[in-house]
Amino acid sequence: MARSTVSNASLFQRAQLVAPGGVNSPVRAFRSVGGTPYFVARGSGSRVWDVEGREYLDYVQSYGASIVGHAHPAVVAAVQEAAADGSTFGAPTEREVLLAEELSARVPGADMVRLVSSGTEATMSAVRLARGATGRDRVVVFDGCYHGHSDGLLAGGGSGVATLGIPASAGVPSAAVSSTLVLPYNQVPALTEEVACVIVEPIAANMGLVPPGPGFLEGLRAECDRVGALLVFDEVITGFRVARGGAAQVFGVEPDLWCFGKVIGGGLPLAAFAGRRDLMEQLAPLGPIYQAGTLSGNPLATAAGLAVLSLLDDAAYAALAATAGRLAAGIAGACRGAGLEVQVPVAGPLLGIFFAPSPVGDYEASKASAATGLYPAFMHGLLERGVAVAPGAYEVLFPSLAHTDADLERTVAAVGDVAKALVATR
Ligand SMILES: *Cc1c(COP(=O)(O)O)cnc(C)c1O
């Protein structure tokens, strides 16, 4: 059979005929940066290759679902071995126990774990659990945080003020967000006894990277305790990434419930929510709060997750943080050297890029950075130089364990070139 020659453009054209926007998750369609997405043929370590054979140093890394680099031999072997034994049964398996034990051991306070298949399911289920356990309806979220695409959490807010949720998407009934209160990030609100839970990204990583200000998480903990509300950390990005015990460990603030995803599936569809025993025991079959999943605890996904976690020891976290620190300093230096105003916050292995004159602490400031309109040219400039960052101004960079010093040097050099070009054409 003759090998068909495909190009990014031809595939994108075909894709748009059979898939809305040509993609299965909107950001991949490049709508906010323009141009044609690259279709990935394969990845290895810090790199991906598109269907035209072009190589990119990859900082997308599946938006964080890949932390050890693409196609790590230990992960590939674990998945192959698991697949040969059958990929789903609808009966419990040993690896589900091993993974829950591993997650619980790394996160003090996460006594029990329920595995699901996406971060969206994890947050949706954690909120249901919080409502069921407290007998209250109201949920507090923060503007600029992302908690997946369930109706109740797709609420938009006003500009930097506290508002009752308005649907952030067509198709979300106003009733679904009428109990969702949207507040500005990094300001501790005064809660009332109507609140079932406060759900927060303890380090916000879906409006660029916005670390919590001093006292923010501690203040949320105290307010929740004062009114009997539950504190839910959405650690779908930060969990098992910023430290062994995630952001809860870094900041020394323990929530009642956690949501995990991305890292723990080792690149396969797997997520989890976890928490105190007395809360988790209110889930079916022990308690009245229903939650279920045909593919939950999937054998391939748990095998991949266990393989990745076995690689994430203290040395790995130190290496990841060192990589991000070097990269951030290099990017900031290269941009400023070219006369481009930039902020490059770092949190463990995560870094963000804002075109802003001072540190960004909330969604308003993040939106102002995006409104400079610099990001699309920045991103495309890097892509032309073989460096892939996400096609959206609100995404963060995900350097992996596979990124080498040589990779970082190449990246910083490319950033310097792009920054000069941006300043020259302004
Ligand atoms: C990615 C993400 C989610 C949603 O996870 P999916 O697996 O995409 O459904 C939820 N919360 C946070 C903080 C995320 O970054």
CATH number of residue 89's parent domain: 3.40.640.10
Q: Where among 311, 336, 354 does a domain terminate? A: 311
Q: What are the distances in angstroms from CA 41 to CA 14, 28, 52, 76? A: 16, 15, 8, 16
Q: Which of 149, 201, 237, 363, when mutated, tests ligand 1's pocket best, judged by the most ligand atoms within 8 Å of its CB?
A: 237
Domain count of the fold of the chain: 2
Q: Based on the fold, state whether residues 57 and 81 are members of the same structural domain.
A: no
Q: What are the distances in angstroms from CA 126 to CA 65, 212, 244, 371? A: 20, 22, 21, 34
Known catalytic residues? 146, 234, 262
Instruction: Tell whether 1 is covered by a domain.
Output: no
Q: Which of 28, 66, 123, when mutated, tests ligand 1's pocket best, judged by the most ligand atoms within 8 Å of its CB?
A: 123
Instruction: Tell whether 3 is covered by a domain.
Output: no
**Residue 208: how many CB atoms within 10 A of its CB?**
28
Q: For ligand 1, say whether the CB of 124 is within 6 Å of any of its atoms.
A: no
- Joined together, the tokens standing for residue 13 give 């054209």
Q: Based on the fold, state whether residues 107 and 45 are members of the same structural domain.
A: no
Q: For ligand 1, say whether the CB of 267 is within 6 Å of any of its atoms.
A: no
Instruction: Tell whether 250 is covered by a domain.
Output: yes
Q: In which domain, by residue range, is 228 found? A: 73-311
- Joined together, the tokens standing for residue 221 give 């903990």
Instruction: Tell whether 117 is covered by a domain.
Output: yes
- How many angstroms separate the alpha carbon of residue 118 from the centre of ligand 1? 7
Q: Based on the fold, state whether residues 217 and 362 are members of the same structural domain.
A: no
Q: For ligand 1, say whether the CB of 206 is within 6 Å of any of its atoms.
A: yes
Instruction: Tell whether 265 is covered by a domain.
Output: yes
Q: Based on the fold, state whether residues 288 and 352 are members of the same structural domain.
A: no
Instruction: Tell whether 357 is covered by a domain.
Output: yes
Q: Are the C-beta atoms of 59 and 389 separated by less than 8 Å? A: yes
Q: For ligand 1, say whether the CB of 47 is within 6 Å of any of its atoms.
A: no
Atom 15, ligand 1: residue with shortest CA distance: 237
pLDDT of residue 422: 96
Q: For ligand 1, say whether the CB of 239 is within 6 Å of any of its atoms.
A: no
Q: Based on the fold, state whether residues 307 and 326 are members of the same structural domain.
A: no
Q: Based on the fold, state whether residues 149 and 233 are members of the same structural domain.
A: yes
Q: Based on the fold, state whether residues 146 and 185 are members of the same structural domain.
A: yes
Q: Based on the fold, state whether residues 143 and 266 are members of the same structural domain.
A: yes
Q: Where among 288, 311, 334 does a domain terminate? A: 311
Average pLDDT per run of 10 along the chain, which is 426 residues long? 76 98 96 97 98 98 97 98 98 98 98 98 98 98 96 80 79 93 96 98 98 98 98 98 97 98 98 98 98 98 98 98 98 98 97 97 96 97 98 97 98 98 92
Strand locations in 250-317 (E) = 257-260, 271-275
pLDDT of residue 94: 98
- How many angstroms separate the alpha carbon of residue 179 from the centre of ligand 1? 21
Domain containing 19 — which CATH number? 3.90.1150.10
pTM above 0.95, yes or no: yes
DSSP 8-state assignment for residue 66: -
Q: For ligand 1, say whether the CB of 234 is within 6 Å of any of its atoms.
A: yes
Q: Based on the fold, state whether residues 340 and 304 are members of the same structural domain.
A: no
Atom from ligand 1 closest to the CA of residue 201 = 13
Instruction: Tell whether 123 is covered by a domain.
Output: yes
The single-letter code of the amino acid at 117 is S
Measured distance CA(194)–CA(175) in Å, rounded: 17
Q: Where among 311, 326, 343 does a domain terminate? A: 311
Q: Based on the fold, state whether residues 56 and 180 are members of the same structural domain.
A: no
Q: For ligand 1, say whether the CB of 148 is within 6 Å of any of its atoms.
A: yes
Q: Based on the fold, state whether residues 165 and 275 are members of the same structural domain.
A: yes
- How many angstroms separate the alpha carbon of residue 259 from the centre of ligand 1? 9
Q: Based on the fold, state whether residues 84 and 219 are members of the same structural domain.
A: yes
Q: Which of 236, 238, 397, 398, when mutated, tests ligand 1's pocket best, judged by the most ligand atoms within 8 Å of its CB?
A: 236
Instruction: Tell whether 351 is covered by a domain.
Output: yes
CA atoms within 13 A on the CB side of 333: 11
- How many angstroms separate the alpha carbon of residue 28 from the centre of ligand 1? 15
pLDDT of residue 1: 45
Atom 6, ligand 1: residue with shortest CA distance: 119
Q: For ligand 1, say whether the CB of 146 is within 6 Å of any of its atoms.
A: yes
pLDDT of residue 164: 73
